[in-house]
Amino acid sequence: MTRTVGIVGGGHTRWGDREATYKDLIQEAGKATFDDVSGVSPGDIEGLFVGSVQPERFAFQTHVAPMVAELLGIAPDSMIARTELACASGQAALRYAWLAIAAGQLDTALVLGVEKMNLPDEHAAEAQSGMTNVMDREFDGVNGLNAPPYFAMVAQRHMHEYGTTREQLAQVSAKNKSHAAHNEFAQFQDEVSVDEVIDSFPLSPPLCLYDCSGITDGAAGLILMSEEKAREVTDEAAWITGSGQACFASNSVNNLPSMSAWPQATTAAEQAYDQAGIDDPVAELDVAEVHDCFSISEIVEYEDLGWVEKGEGGQFVEDGRSALDGDIAVNPRGGLLGCGHPLGATGVSQALEIYNQFRGDVPAERRVPDPETGLIHNLSGSASVHSVMTMARGRP
Determine the 3-state secondary structure of 160 from DSSP: helix
In sequence order, what are the residues at sequence separation of 6 or more whose Cβ sits closer than 8 angstroms to the Cβ of residue 16? 187, 214, 216, 217, 218, 340
Nearest Cα neighbor of 335 from 386, 287, 388 is 287
Is 339 catalytic? The answer is: no
CB distance 222 to 33 below 8 Å: yes
Q: What is the side-by-side order of every strand in the sheet holding 218-226?
A: 79-83, 47-51, 108-115, 218-226, 5-12, 238-247, 385-392, 373-380, 287-289, 329-330
Q: Give the span between the Cα atoms of 117 and 339, in whole angstroms.
A: 14
Determine the 3-state secondary structure of 243 from DSSP: strand
Considering the candidates 87, 208, 293, 339, report the single residue annotated as catalytic. 87
Q: Give the span between the Cα atoms of 299 and 262, in whole angstroms.
A: 11
Q: Give the span between the Cα atoms of 187 and 143, in whole angstroms.
A: 30
Is 293 catalytic? The answer is: no
Give backbone dihedrals phi and psi of 206, rounded to 5 degrees, phi first.
-90, 5
Instruction: Tell me how far apart the terminal alpha carbons of the chain are, to the nearest angstrom.
Output: 16
Q: Give the span between the Cα atoms of 360 and 256, in whole angstroms.
A: 40
Considering the candidates 158, 291, 341, 386, report the single residue annotated as catalytic. 341
Nearest Cα neighbor of 3 from 226, 300, 271, 225 is 226
Beta strands in the chain (DSSP E): 5-12, 47-51, 79-83, 108-115, 202-204, 207-208, 218-226, 238-247, 287-289, 329-330, 373-380, 385-392
Q: Which residues are catalytic?
A: 87, 341
